[in-house]
Structure 1
């Protein structure tokens, strides 16, 4: 009797285990039957994720390339190769272009000449791009930009012994103001002082580090994204004090921008041209007057040449020839060469 009860208890206790074992066996059989499908699910999921990532990346690249083209011509070619170069350089851009540069102890004087520059009214405009770098909002009217270009030209006419006009070596599409080699105090790209942008009315120029701090604090501009302070970087791209000056919106702002151009000329050439200008700045009216007087002088030379049997067109081109000679002299001098193909010293 005891043996019979023991066998019944054993069977009762062992039965659930046997059932579990059967279920486990069935489940194992089921899983083994589903193995091919189960192993393909992660592959399909991974392929889908990769395809989505590639599509998102392609869409972002396409948008970035079209945004790059929309900025207009600059020192960087408007090609896929040029855009790829900008994407690489974006890794090295300044984290904050509103941080002023360091003033090295070897720079004399330690202070700039824009201490009396007033504060710019309004907020900062939106600035995008690297090369080209452009102002997208709050631009000045075309008439103000025309006056700005006339002012730059008048400066070269008023000071032909130290300044001349030429094609910008930074951007290659706009007219730049240059310092003659014998007058250069600090090297830039062949002595370039500044150049303006017809696209947005802004300017690029190089200033004393203290003046860069002033124009940032007063709201007149910001540093170029590639204006890094490494000693080897400045000889390959742009100087550490290379800045964008916002487009002037009024005649009063144009006068302030003119003072900034004077400061850039002083930094590059070492000559404070304000001492030679009685109005301490060139107004648009004075700029056009300077140009008119220069044309009158050329006309007088033309009349004298006609009396001597010299062709008029040769005389009228003498001034242009002189500018080209100055530019050639600057290129042949010991100044820094812009040697990066399609991206000279930053291609702004």
Structure 2
């Protein structure tokens, strides 16, 4: 009690000696804090989608509850991602688990913000490539904003139509519908395993496919089989080939751990800030994610894995998880058809992991 009184007396004494100076410093720090909170609130309100209401209540939940539990960008968008995800003998390969080579994405990665929702903020077209590659001559099409935007929209539409084609070609294993995570997004659901019935037995729909791994069923159990959704909306019906698509064609998807690490390292995406929380994280048993920044680099880990939370045997009994899978990634929006082809390779790898076999239509 005496210590608190002495501190209070020291503050009062300082204020009496230099009231103007102390008031200026206090006003500066208060204004900076208020400005930072206001900008964060405006950013949250501007982000499309997400289950939280776009008001002060939703922002308070996002800022004070979810943000402190989010993974730092050092874990979600750098090579440190491999210390977060489980490793396999093929972890250092530059090929996806489907055998397809994954090239490096051109240019620096785009900005992303938010926790719920989590969104890409820029680089929706190839216009940004012109500023990133100074000293190189840009093509006429790349320098034309309208042509660049049209290329991006065609790439987004191509991916969306391919998702529909995949679902129509494999009705026993895939279903296309509105996302349960992002209600205004289009999602692919894996229906060829035990997520629907909760049974450990192979259902009739899986007889023509290899039974998904215990890891896949564990990861998808908390999101009801929704392994990919695309953030896109057209100004007309989705069946209209000439509909104008929104710029944001980024995707959230659940990948095999090797594929997730490769996608991040090759610059095609980043982990969701809440990936692995809470079922796979050490929040309940170890350090919260934000405390890992204070630990030494030798002892630091993004989240703590336990043998009970990650099944390693193919015939292991799968318990339902809560929250997002640890390989839940934001994959960046395609800027042209070449990038759309790469994104489709990543989506097909996600499909193979989700249903246990690769679609034969591609």
Contact 1:74 1:171 in 2 (8 A): yes
Equivalent residue, structure 2, for 1:66: 42
CA RMSD of the aligned region, Å?
2.9
- CA apart distance, 1:76: 2.7
Cα distance in 1 for partners of 2:17, 2:191 equals: 68
Give the deviation of 1:210 after TM superposition: 0.4
1:74–1:132 contact (8 Å) kept in structure 2: yes
Deviation per CA, 1:153-179: give whole Å up to 9, x if none: 111111111000122122222111101
Q: Pick closer, same or farther for the CA change 1:230–1:131 going to 2, 3 Å.
A: closer
Counterpart of 1:192 (choices 221, 226, 230) is 226
> Where does residue 113 of structure 1 map in the other structure?
98
Distance in 1 separating the partners of 2:333 and 2:28: 42
- Written as runs of structure 1 = structure 2, the 5 A alignment for 1:162-181 is 162-180=173-191
* Residue of structure 1 aligned with 2:70, choices 77, 83, 93: 93
Aligned partner of 1:271 in structure 2 is: 357
In structure 2, the CA distance between the partners of 1:70 and 1:89, relative to structure 1 (3 Å rule), is same
One of 233, 252, 255 as aligned partner of 1:204: 252
Number of residue pairs matched by the alignment? 239
**What does residue 10 of structure 1 align with?**
none
What's the CA shift for 1:55?
Answer: 3.3
Structure 2 gap ranges (5+):
1-11, 126-151, 196-211, 233-246, 282-308, 310-320
Which secondary structure state, in structure 2, belongs to the residue aligned with residue 252 of structure 1?
helix
* Equivalent in the alignment of 1:215: 263
Residues in 2 aligned to 1:256 and 1:118: alpha-carbon distance in whole angstroms: 8
Q: Output the CA distance in 1 between the equivalents of 2:322 and 2:23.
A: 43
CA deviation digits over 1:212-271, x for unaligned, max 9?
Answer: 121122221111111147645494431110111111111121111111111111112222
Structure 1: give runs of 5+ residues left out of the alignment.
Answer: 1-36, 281-348
Q: Structure 1, residues 74-113: CA drift from partner, whole Å, max 9, x if none?
A: 23321212111221221122222123244547x8997823
The CA distance in 2 between the partners of 1:256 and 1:249, in whole Å, is 11
Contact 2:85 2:327 in 1 (8 A): no
Provide the secondary structure at the position in 2 that maps to 1:142: helix
Alignment of 1:23-62 (within 5 A): 41=16, 44=19, 49-62=25-38
TM-score, normalised via structure 2 length: 0.59
Q: Name the SS of the counterpart of 1:182 in structure 2.
A: coil
Q: Is the 8 A contact 2:100 2:345 kept in 1?
A: no
- 1:306 corresponds to: none
Greater mean alpha carbon deviation, residues 186-195 or residues 176-185: 176-185
Q: What corresponds to 1:124 in structure 2?
A: 109
Aligned mates of 2:266, 2:99 — CA distance in 1: 10
The offset of 1:126, in angstroms, is 1.8
Cα offset for 1:116?
1.3
Q: 1:47 offset after TM fit, Å? A: 6.2
The Cα of 1:142 is off from its aligned counterpart by 2.0
- Change in CA separation of 1:196 and 1:47 when aligned onto 2, cut-off 3 Å: same
Work out the CA distance in 2 between the residues paired with 1:117 and 1:206: 17
TM-score by length of 1: 0.61
Task: Give the corresponding residue for 1:76.
Answer: 52
User: Deviation at 1:122?
Assistant: 2.3
Q: 1:161, 1:203 → 2: CA distance?
A: 23
Distance change in 2, residues 1:230/1:83 (3 Å) = closer
